[in-house]
Structure 1
Amino acid sequence: MARLGDRAGARPRRPSGATSGADLRHRCGCGRPVDDGVVPAPPRPQVAVCEHPVRRACESAGASRCTDPTHHRSRRTRSASRIRSAWKWTLRAARSRSLGTSGLHAHRLVSGSRATAPVSARSSVSGVDHADIKYPWELARCQHWATLGQAYRLTGDERFAIEISRQADDFVEANPVGMGINWTCTMDVALRAVSWAIGLELVRTSPALDDAFWTRAYAALFDHGVFIRANLENTYEVTSNHFLSNLAGLLFLGGVFADLPQGSGWNTFARAALEHEMTVQVLPDGADYESSIPYHRLVTELFLGSSRLAEHQGEPMSNAYRSHLHGMVAFLAAVTRPDGLMPQVGDADDGRLHQFNADGTTSPQDARHLFGPAAVMFHEPPWMALAGPAGPWEAAWWGLDFNGTWLPTQAREEAGRLFPHAGIAVMRSGDHCLLVTNGVVGTNGFGNHKHNDQLSFEYHHAGTPLIVDPGSYVYTSDAAARNLFRSTAFHNTLSVDGVEQNEMRPDWLFRLFESSNAQHLSFEDRADASEYVGRHHGYERLPEPVTHERTFRFLKPSGTLVIVDRLVGHGRHELRWHFHLAPGLSAERTGETTLLLAAAAGRWQLTVPPGLDISIRPAAYSPSYGVKAPCSAIDISSQVGLRGEGAFEFAFEFVFTS
């Protein structure tokens, strides 16, 4: 029987003259680099492969339970035909490209080039200022392996198992441990480990894969665990989703290698650290503390997947952990748009723990996949209704039983709610929805994923998105675009004298410096209306300070929105209001104080104060990382002289047309 200890496991030394870890972290946007110096890996254990099958970790992800999910037979038949396309996959946020079986090298996908030989993870990354390092990082997470594994389980086609084996061997050959960009960021190493654990279990029964392959695969997977444990992303100023990903990876690997001392140690460490991070990274109202709804989805998935794994292993996480986790899912349900997508508050890079519904038909903004497993784990029927048709399917691949007998017809409560710690207010009436943002700089003031979106909003009427957050677009590949998409002018709020609400420094792509000190003045949810009043102090840095206060009045049942801006200050100032329209929505001026917004679903009138300059301009909306779509924006401006307090009122009204 082949053994895991067939080859040496020491990490290579950093070459002399290599770029420092701090510089590489700054240029790549990674939370923490590989440690300086050498962290030798312990020798691989001399244990037969068959004694620690990967099944232990991945049955909790539904691998064994879904070999033949008979209660989803029709879905299985449809998915089997769609999922065969896993021979070629689309790298999200990039144009489609067929990568074949050598797709996991250190590609620079923007230019299409590839390194001809491995380089140290600590050395200079050539072209990092011109290409987007996230593309090879994302691809090397191997999250398409779950799709390949599902295709194998649903069809029995050996090509899918062989493809996983080819990619595994290709990765190991092209990416020696600790060498190259695919070992630069521990988060990506950990998410790759989860993907390998799941993918390998899904093809475990394949007769096409011999013992030699399993020896190589288990050895590589063990290397991942050693590397993660030695390079945790918890020594920076704050912890974030990066460290949580490290812990999730160790928890999965602790299950794979549970019969080994290292695996047991990884499991013990990860469980304790996850319990602690739940108290650090989750706010009292259930939101992730990084000031981003898309990152809240990722963090919820990391905590939820870890909880499911611990539950399957017979050692559930604590009641306190589960209580916080319940609050996280409840927050995500509360902010979900009428069309089922997430509002793009804060940064968004489409990050996931794993994907079991990646058939190319689901938007990266769609977080409803989590409501299926969460509904079963917490017995919350409304969450399953919110999940839609994908809910039971996703729950099954998590190894959860659901027979549909308690599926409700009503997916959400209609009550409005203020999440004071997150800085989010939600108001609803039927398919009308308003979401307001006014929060502090998150991650304990670090601001890595916070945008300048104080008193900004998203507005949906009759299920149609009208005013939307433009998203994030990219990170390090285009610093100017990165800063533009997180700027005040790229949000649906008021800017004064062109000053940012919170201080931004152009070369600090993952920092915002608290200047606005947001306040919630009042929130009321009544049968006839909901109202939120907020204030921020970001413009008090001006030579002649200005305080911005905004009232959102959401009328029921019409869904009419009235916005009142109040400014307190002195001196002459340039005021500029920004309203970013959803793609597909047009705008035209119909009078001195009115504009008509039109879409296939209807028409809406925007009424503005008299005496203001109004312009309609082309703009951009980013539905996922690296992708831009054209849209329109309304800019309204005025030069005003303040002598104390001034007020401006805007109203959105629905115009019924035949």
Structure 2
Amino acid sequence: MNLAWTIRILRGPMRPFLVGKLVDRLRRFRELRRAKRLVPTMPSEGRGLRTNIVPLPSAPWFAQHGQSVLAFARRMRSGNIGAYGIDRWNVGQSDPTGVDVRSVHELSRMHHWCAYALAAHLDAERRDEWCQLLEDEIVTFASAYPAGTGVHWQFPMGTGIRLHSMLVAWDWAQRSGWRSADGDRIVAATAIDHALLTFAERESRGGLSTSHYAANLLGVLAASVYVEGRPETDLWKHDACRGLLSEIPRQILPDGMSNEGSTGYHRQIVDTFVHALHLMHAAQTPVRADVAHQTLVLSAVARCRQLERLGMPLIGDNDDGLSMKLCGFEPEMSYMYDVAERLHGAAAMMRVSTDMQNFGLAVLEDEHLQCTLRNGPVGQFGKGGHAHNDQNSMTLRCDGRWFVVDPGTSTYTMDMRRRNQQRSTGSHSTMWPADADQAEYPAGESGLFWLLEDRLERRLARTADGVLRGEIIRADVGRHVRELSLEQGALHGHDVFTGNAGHSAECVFVFHPDVRIVQIGDEQLVIASGQTQLVLSWTGAKGLIDQATYSERFASIRTTSCLRLHGSEISWAIRRDVP
């Protein structure tokens, strides 16, 4: 990162956190040096583990999802990954190559260990086989990837999630009636190594904290309530509980959305906090959430339900990580809902407002159409690490099928050109000059997780008659105003771009890969998906069909089409084409 960018960042989003980051860096250096002297922990030092802490999923959840759990367990036992660009892999083997490091990071979380433990309850005849498989994989992991070395230990977030998964899985396995004294000692020793390193490397970043820090604390909390006979556990418990509770109002905005600029990361942070509160409640920790914390987390759960009802529009990086995955690598939320409902009863079904004002996402919908308009902060206290240049962008579903989409995210670090292209303004369904972006980031690898909004002004409002109005201004580029309304079953849009000299605008509609272009006219396009057909018409612009990309999930990419309209003032409408 060059000097100009360094100064801009230090004077901008980093400024409130400079002293804290320096203190954190010194703290991390000191604590990590000590932790590395203490690992690896010998099995003889693993005194023991408490059991019966985290309850099993509910009987209705088992009835509905048991077969999916078994399928995931069997798939992982055979090494058939089939996700994140990885075909096959088993614990103990060399790390997969030719894929984004984020893909290996997902494997390192060992979500499937909990699936093995649940399989022991679902497949009772093979209980001992499933539990022994769990023990064998933990032993293999500890020997193949020594504590603190390699990619599996490179990200403290993943280490914390793996620590939590391992301890909950071991607890659940023992609830099946199976026992292993040697396994107890090995798991305890492995948990101590995880906790020592995760606690030392916790990613508080002087207050510039994200979902990473919450995942660190979840793992440390799990170790503090499960591990017996270690002097550090009281400190781990105290700091993890207080840290998690202080992070809830920092990472969950007043409207119930996360402070990440991403719907995918919203899902992940809510999952982390729900399981943290569950662990605090189950272990009866001295420090627990009060009503305000619980209400904020439950509002975030309600936002997850709302986003799923809207088809989970891919705002920002569509990372599909969770703290717990029991049914496969898909970001399946049913277990999180199950936990929330058992903890809070009817309160877990609380209602929230239609629009997400603090996050910056507004919704228009009727019996057929669902439209979102994005206009909001980049998140992460201005760092924007998982945000996109998506101001005033829209998504659209009709009859449950996607038509206009966000491009998603297929890579983080493996392909910088694609990473930046997928988060560029021109890849989103908005209006802006093709030769400029809205927010900026430093060139090269150092800029892959920055997106500065310090030169932007933005506003989002809903008028009294239900019209959504988004405004985005960048002084050296121009001003875009978008108005959206639903009238008589059609979505109407009006876009105006007022640019500086040399900047002309284009209005983009990125289509889902399943959308077929049925008919092209001078100022009209007929598109279809399944049996649903829409007519997109416009005035004030010339249209061009172009190629685009779409990544429904991380590490996957599909070619799709988009419509580019060139003009400074464009009126358009999308209506269902009913025979």
- Normalised to the residue count of structure 1, the TM-score between the two structures is 0.76
Q: Flag the 1:97–1:250 CA change in 2: closer, same or farther, 3 A.
A: same
Q: Flag the 1:631–1:382 CA change in 2: closer, same or farther, 3 A.
A: farther
d(CA) in 1 for partners of 2:520 and 2:33?
68
SS of corresponding position for 2:387: coil
Aligned counterpart, 2:340: 374
| Structure with the higher helix share, 1 or 2 | 2
Q: CA deviation at 1:51?
A: 4.9
Q: CA deviation at 1:554?
A: 2.0
Sequence identity, in percent?
A: 22
Aligned counterpart, 1:553: 485
Q: Flag the 1:481–1:371 CA change in 2: closer, same or farther, 3 A.
A: same
Q: CA deviation at 1:373?
A: 2.9
d(CA) in 1 for partners of 2:533 and 2:76?
41
d(CA) in 1 for partners of 2:75 and 2:151?
28
Aligned counterpart, 2:525: 595
Any conservation in 1 of the 2:496–2:570 contact (CA below 8 Å)? yes
d(CA) in 1 for partners of 2:348 and 2:156?
36
Deviates more, 1:42-51 or 1:503-512: 42-51
- Normalised to the residue count of structure 2, the TM-score between the two structures is 0.86
Q: Flag the 1:74–1:623 CA change in 2: closer, same or farther, 3 A.
A: closer
Any conservation in 2 of the 1:337–1:343 contact (CA below 8 Å)? no
Q: 2:140 aligns with which of 133, 156, 170?
A: 170
Q: Flag the 1:72–1:290 CA change in 2: closer, same or farther, 3 A.
A: closer
**Any residues of structure 2 matched to 1:142-157 within 5 Å, and which?**
142-156=110-124, 157=126
Any conservation in 1 of the 2:275–2:339 contact (CA below 8 Å)? no
d(CA) in 2 for partners of 1:42 and 1:489?
51
d(CA) in 1 for partners of 2:88 and 2:520?
49
Q: 1:531 aligns with which of 440, 443, 467?
A: 467
Any conservation in 1 of the 2:457–2:473 contact (CA below 8 Å)? yes
SS of corresponding position for 1:261: coil
Match for 2:153: what amino acid?
Answer: W
SS of corresponding position for 2:183: helix
1:630 aligns to 2:559 (yes or no): yes
1:322 aligns to 2:252 (yes or no): no
Match for 2:182: what amino acid?
Answer: A
d(CA) in 2 for partners of 1:167 and 1:71?
26
d(CA) in 1 for partners of 2:303 and 2:212?
21
Aligned counterpart, 2:277: 307
Q: CA deviation at 1:623?
A: 1.2
Aligned counterpart, 2:400: 463
Q: Flag the 1:257–1:47 CA change in 2: closer, same or farther, 3 A.
A: farther
Q: CA deviation at 1:606?
A: 0.6
d(CA) in 1 for partners of 2:46 and 2:175?
14
Aligned counterpart, 2:476: 541
Match for 1:536: what amino acid?
Answer: I
Q: Flag the 1:534–1:368 CA change in 2: closer, same or farther, 3 A.
A: farther
Aligned counterpart, 2:506: 576
Aligned counterpart, 1:216: 186
Match for 1:537: what amino acid?
Answer: I
Q: Flag the 1:76–1:495 CA change in 2: closer, same or farther, 3 A.
A: closer
Q: Flag the 1:600–1:516 CA change in 2: closer, same or farther, 3 A.
A: farther
Deviates more, 1:283-292 or 1:586-595: 586-595
Q: Flag the 1:351–1:509 CA change in 2: closer, same or farther, 3 A.
A: same
Aligned counterpart, 2:15: none
1:545-598 deviations in Å (ceiling 9; x for gaps):
x21111111235x2x111111223454532212111112101255321101111
Match for 2:214: what amino acid?
Answer: L
Q: 1:353 aligns with which of 298, 315, 323?
A: 323
Q: CA deviation at 1:47?
A: 8.8
Q: CA deviation at 1:518?
A: 4.2
d(CA) in 2 for partners of 1:75 and 1:354?
14
**Any residues of structure 2 matched to 1:22-101 within 5 Å, and which?**
35=29, 38-40=33-35, 51-56=48-53, 59-60=54-55, 62=56, 69=59, 72-73=62-63, 76=66, 80=70, 83-88=73-78, 90-91=80-81, 93-95=83-85, 97-100=87-90
1:355-383 deviations in Å (ceiling 9; x for gaps):
1232x7xx44x545533333443334894
Q: CA deviation at 1:85?
A: 3.6
1:493 aligns to 2:423 (yes or no): no
1:436 aligns to 2:365 (yes or no): no
**Any residues of structure 2 matched to 1:118-517 within 5 Å, and which?**
131-156=99-124, 157=126, 158-204=128-174, 210-235=180-205, 238-257=208-227, 260-315=230-285, 316-338=288-310, 341-358=311-328, 363-364=330-331, 367=333, 369-380=335-346, 383=349, 417-507=354-444, 508-515=447-454, 517=456
Structure 2 unmatched runs, 5+: 1-23
Any conservation in 1 of the 2:72–2:115 contact (CA below 8 Å)? no
- The RMSD of aligned alpha carbons is 3.0
Aligned counterpart, 1:520: 459
SS of corresponding position for 1:535: strand
Q: CA deviation at 1:647?
A: 3.0
d(CA) in 1 for partners of 2:244 and 2:172?
26
Any conservation in 2 of the 1:286–1:325 contact (CA below 8 Å)? yes
d(CA) in 2 for partners of 1:301 and 1:207?
28
Deviates more, 1:143-152 or 1:471-480: 143-152
d(CA) in 1 for partners of 2:151 and 2:25?
13
d(CA) in 2 for partners of 1:569 and 1:75?
53
Match for 1:637: what amino acid?
Answer: H
Any conservation in 2 of the 1:162–1:209 contact (CA below 8 Å)? no
Q: Flag the 1:42–1:54 CA change in 2: closer, same or farther, 3 A.
A: farther
Aligned counterpart, 2:97: 109
Structure 1 unmatched runs, 5+: 1-30, 111-130, 385-411, 639-645
Q: CA deviation at 1:490?
A: 1.0
d(CA) in 2 for partners of 1:494 and 1:634?
12
Aligned counterpart, 1:567: 497
SS of corresponding position for 2:557: strand
Any conservation in 1 of the 2:43–2:185 contact (CA below 8 Å)? no
Deviates more, 1:255-264 or 1:452-461: 255-264
d(CA) in 1 for partners of 2:464 and 2:47?
60
SS of corresponding position for 2:147: coil
SS of corresponding position for 2:381: coil
Aligned counterpart, 2:4: none
Q: Flag the 1:147–1:424 CA change in 2: closer, same or farther, 3 A.
A: same
d(CA) in 2 for partners of 1:206 and 1:50?
22
Any conservation in 2 of the 1:257–1:264 contact (CA below 8 Å)? no
1:443-472 deviations in Å (ceiling 9; x for gaps):
111110110000001111222211011101
Deviates more, 1:45-54 or 1:496-505: 45-54
Q: Flag the 1:186–1:521 CA change in 2: closer, same or farther, 3 A.
A: closer
